[in-house]
A and B are shown apart, each in its own frame.
Chain A
Amino acid sequence: DVKVTQSSRYLVKRTGEKVFLECVQDMDHENMFWYRQDPGLGLRLIYFSYDVKMKEKGDIPEGYSVSREKKERFSLILESASTNQTSMYLCASSLLRGYYEQYFGPGTRLTVT
């Protein structure tokens, strides 16, 4: 059974702080993704990675960076958090080739004050 876990369900940070969101999957998936979800906007892709140390920008990478040092772990980094980064962050993983469903973590609701 695929499991994707995220380090926190709720997080409150101050403007300017460096924020780390961690995601771990246990199914040996090549692909990992970070999305942010905002009401009325659906899920928007921030970054994804198809291999260790590889990363690709999604639709809204500005203000974010990522790190993938191990296959099972994909971290999202907010270098200097801002209030407009208050959102729900969802991590997902999938197999690389073909059309496969993405498996999602429970999400992290980040509030930047």
Chain B
Amino acid sequence: AQKITQTQPGMFVQEKEAVTLDCTYDTSDQSYGLFWYKQPSSGEMIFLIYQGSYDEQNATEGRYSLNFQKARKSANLVISASQLGDSAMYFCAMTRANTGNQFYFGTGTSLTVIP
């Protein structure tokens, strides 16, 4: 069974500092995709960033970057220069080939940005 593990139930970060949210995954597939989503208190799921298993470079989207270490099966999200609006739940997810883009989600990390 595929599995996504997020070991940090809650994290705190000072405003303007960087923070890393951990995600490890378990798959024997060679081809897969990794995603991060943000869920503010309003409830909507917002797509942040994507990394393909064959991508050699780490994905970046503005203040978000994905630290992809394939051998370690980790896909950590790095948020630089944290803002108060970054306070939210963050979910890591994975999809595999030939699954119809079915996602496997982690249990999430709650991030609180302190002013």
A interface, CB within 8 angstroms of B? 31, 33, 35, 40-45, 48, 50, 56, 58, 88, 90, 92, 94-104, 106-107, 109
Partner of B100, one of A48, A92, A101: A48
- Rounded to whole Å, the gap between the CB of A21 and the closest CB of chain B is 15
B85-106 interface code vs A (CB 8 A; 1 in, 0 out): 0000001010100001111011
Does B107 lie within 8 Å of A41, measured CB to CB? yes
Which 5 residue pairs spanning A and B have beta carbons closest together? Answer: A99-B33, A104-B45, A42-B107, A101-B47, A43-B105
- What are the residues of chain A within 8 A of B43 when measuring CB–CB? 88, 106-107, 109
Question: Given contacts A88-B43, A104-B45, is CB(A94)–CB(B91) below 8 Å?
Answer: no
A42 to B33, CA, bound (A): 18
Q: Count residues of chain B with CB under 8 A from any CB of chain A.
A: 24
- A101: min CB distance to chain B, Å: 4
Q: Flag if B100 contacts A56 (CB, 8 Å).
A: yes
Known: A99-B50, A101-B35. A31 touches B101 (CB 8 A): yes
Residue of A99, A104, A107 near B101 (CB, 8 A) is A99
5 contacts between A and B (CB under 8 A): A35-B105, A42-B108, A44-B105, A99-B95, A103-B47
A50 touches B100 (CB 8 A): yes
| Residue ID in chain A nearest B47 by CB atoms | A101
Smallest CB gap from B46: residue in A: A104
Q: Tell me the bound Cα distance from A45 to B106 in angstroms.
A: 12
- Chain A, Cβ-Cβ closest to B9: A40
Does the CB pair B91–A98 fall under 8 Å? Answer: no
A31 and B107 in contact (CB under 8 A), knowing A101-B47, A101-B50? no
The contact of A98 among B6, B101, B107, by CB within 8 Å, is B101
A94: which B residues are within 8 A, CB to CB? 101
The answer on a CB contact under 8 Å between B102 and A45 is: yes
